[in-house]
Amino acid sequence: MVDSSTAVFSEPDDLGSALRDTGYSVMLATERGPFRARIVRLGLAHFWLTMAVERRSRIAFVSLPPGLVRIFLPSAQGSLMLSGHRAEPGELITYGVGASFHERLEGPCVWRDIVVSAESLLSYGHALTRTKIVLPPQLRLWRPSAEALRGLSHLHAAATRLAEVHGGLTAGADAARGLERQLVSALVECLATGPIEKHIATADRHAEVMAQFERLIGAHPERSLPPVDMSASLKVSERTLRKCGEEYLGMSPSRYLRLRRMHLVRRALRSAGTTATQISQVASRYGFADAGRFAVSYRALFGESPSATRQRSTGRLTTTIRSAAR
């Protein structure tokens, strides 16, 4: 079966919801101005391919669903930061089962990925190369040959372009299986040489600190936690926590926490039933006691007043177009 969809979004929350099946739990815009994103997705029997075009800087926190692994291809445009690492041309970046990580865009970006079950990847890898391809949970870098990477990139681009142009593939099951076999072969060829072992211990430790950080603030979404309390809860120094924040988030943990609470206010204002008199109550609930200062900060971040957000019923620009072929 082939399943494809194309959708356009004007709110980071809506984009995060559309990608929730691959583990997105937090999606925050970090740049003032209208948010714009378009995603094209293609689902095969064992693979999901995504091509995303985004126009603004943002941060996301991702926890892969059980049994899945994720492979990032080199960005077609712009800068993508994964767990503090800037994705470079010629590199594949992988996350294995149980991975949690931060994904950051610095301005406009066109990124591409492949999500596949770990079991399928292991099975295909052994069948094709007689070796086990097991991806560690944390970020790993791979530098396949230029020819192998070019082949995988061309297959990904052709498949997602067809899904976008036609709103779904009209080919039958045999053609879908043929496409999947080509993808498997190209992917296994790229991963067969093994990852680059570089600064793994420190990077893995920082990744765990940041995953714990997200769990901590997620458990107390309405609280403004001082850095000393956060570092004590995480059992790291304030200096280490600040360094991890700058590396993974591009900002201090305190600023990120404030940004996150601001987006939670926006989510509440966009929900049905919020009245004009409740705006200050919602802001206060998330730690913004001064209504005047909150309104100024809100407009500076989102480019509109809290009341303007409340009046709009939806942030979706277009309806998702989905079709399937068997």
* Helix and strand element counts for the chain (H, E): 11, 11
Contact 13, 315 (CB under 8 A): yes
pLDDT tens, N- to C-terminus, the chain (326 residues): 567 889 999 999 999 999 999 999 999 999 888 899 999 999 888 889 999 999 999 999 999 999 999 999 999 999 899 999 999 999 999 999 999 999 999 999 999 999 999 998 888 877 877 777 888 899 999 999 999 999 999 999 988 988 877 654 545 567 677 888 899 899 999 998 888 876 577 788 899 999 999 999 999 888 888 999 999 999 999 999 999 999 999 999 999 999 999 999 999 988 866 666 688 889 999 999 888 899 999 999 998 999 888 887 544 444 444 444 33
CA 42 to chain centre: 17
pTM metric for this prediction: 0.89
Contact 39, 52 (CB under 8 A): yes
Taking alpha carbons only, the member of 226, 251, 203, 195 closest to residue 69 is: 195
* Consecutive H or E run containing 8: strand 2-9
- Domains located in the chain, CATH noted: 2-200 (2.60.120.280), 205-311 (1.10.10.60)
CA 272/CA 323 separation, integer angstroms: 30
CA 232/CA 238 separation, integer angstroms: 8
Give the burial class of 117: count Cβ atoms within 10 A of its Cβ; 0-12 exposed, 13-18 middle, 19 or more buried: middle
